[in-house]
Amino acid sequence: MKQYKITTEERVLHFKQPAGTSRGVYTTRRIWLVTLTDGERSGVGECAPLPKLSCDDIANYGDVLKEKGNEFVAALQQGDEAVAAFFETLRDYPSMLFGFETALLSLSSLTSHPSSLFDTAFSRGEVGIPINGLVWMGTFEEMQQRIEEKLKKGFHCVKLKIGAIDFDAELELIKQIRNRFSYHDVELRVDANGAFPYEDALYKLELLSQYALHSIEQPIKAGQWAYMAELCRESPLPIALDEELIGVNDPEQKRQMLNIIRPAYIILKPSLHGGMIGTREWISIAQDMGIGSWITSALESNIGLNAIAQLCSSVYGDAITMPQGLGTGQLFTDNIPMPLEIRGEKLWNIEH
């Protein structure tokens, strides 16, 4: 019989440039690595709650993670059913669940490559996954320069964070991009991170829709289902939910929320939205209702980024055309090496 053991290690990663997010500016990022061994092999997973955003951003995270790790090991000794039951108890701890799922898949990898969590064309290094180029919040000039860089690198889908500078300036920026690049050349996604007050939201969506945008993420703050539902009905621009999904962890509640709001898309971040199990559950419920989706990383190190990319290829198959949000891994000076490489606008696994 295998003797499982788990260790947890806290790490602080340093951003190359301070990262402006909807929750302020980050210069460092705290994560926990969990290493699972069975006496012969080992697998590493990443637990990366986002401060003030994750539903499991708790003060004593490290201690709780250790406790849950011990329960995980006990479940592993009992077999698959016990593991499934244990994972079910982690619905409200999505970042921990995601780390444990990653460590177990890496440990059980059927190939000699621990980065291969699933057997897919992506994990075999045969195809890359198309990703969007992310342009961080900044001044008008900074954002314009960053967009130019992304286009030069070959990205056809650019995601802009808006809601930080003046709305008119942002609209002007989008207009200028559209003057130079038609929507056949560049797909533009915008993310408002809840910045629009409800009263102005529809008007702003109408102004934005002049520029043939692909979608807007979270135009208003999460937790206002009736308002969001109304926007989704009235908006000329497709709406994607992101923060709205945080903390909605029960399958019936997920179904109810999507049924009320009826967004065009949902965006899945495994660390925040239920680990791998919860992400698959969200996507399957959304599919039943004709709601589209894509998967995005959430400032994880390369360990988490690799797991998210692998999950993408397992969920969406070998010929992904919808760009995914997987480009954030190059942000840290002290990232953990993984066989990932961005070539043009695609993320590749280069272990093979």
**Which positions lie near Mg ion, rule CB under 5 A?**
191, 217, 242
CA distances from 52 to 25, 57, 229, 333 (A): 12, 6, 25, 23
Active site residue 269: yes
Q: Put residue 247 in one of left, alpha, beta given phi > 0 → left and psi -120 to 50 → alpha.
A: left
Assign 5 to helix, strand or coil.
Answer: strand
Alpha-carbon distances of 17 from 26, 132, 136, 333, rounded to whole Å? 9, 19, 10, 9
Whether 161 is a known active-site residue: answer: yes
- Strand-pairing partners, residue 20, are 25
Which among 159, 161, 204, 254 is annotated as catalytic?
A: 161
Q: How far apart are alpha carbons 96 and 61 in whole angstroms?
A: 9
| Residue with Cβ nearer Mg ion (45 or 278) | 278
Min dist. Cβ of residue 218 to Mg ion (A): 6
Strand partners, 6: 36
Q: How far is the CB of 96 from Mg ion (least distance, A)?
A: 22
Between 159 and 254, whose beta carbon lies closer to Mg ion? 159
* Residue number, 170 or 217, with CB nearest to Mg ion: 217
**Residue whose Cβ sits closest to Mg ion:** 242
For the CB of residue 194, give the shortest distance to Mg ion in the complex, in Å. Answer: 9
Q: Which residue number, 68 or 159, has a Cβ lying nearer to Mg ion?
A: 159
As to burial, measured by CB atoms within 10 angstroms (0-12 exposed, 13-18 middle, 19+ buried), residue 179 is: exposed
Kindly state the smallest distance separating residue 282's Cβ from Mg ion, in Å.
Answer: 15
Catalytic residues: 161, 269
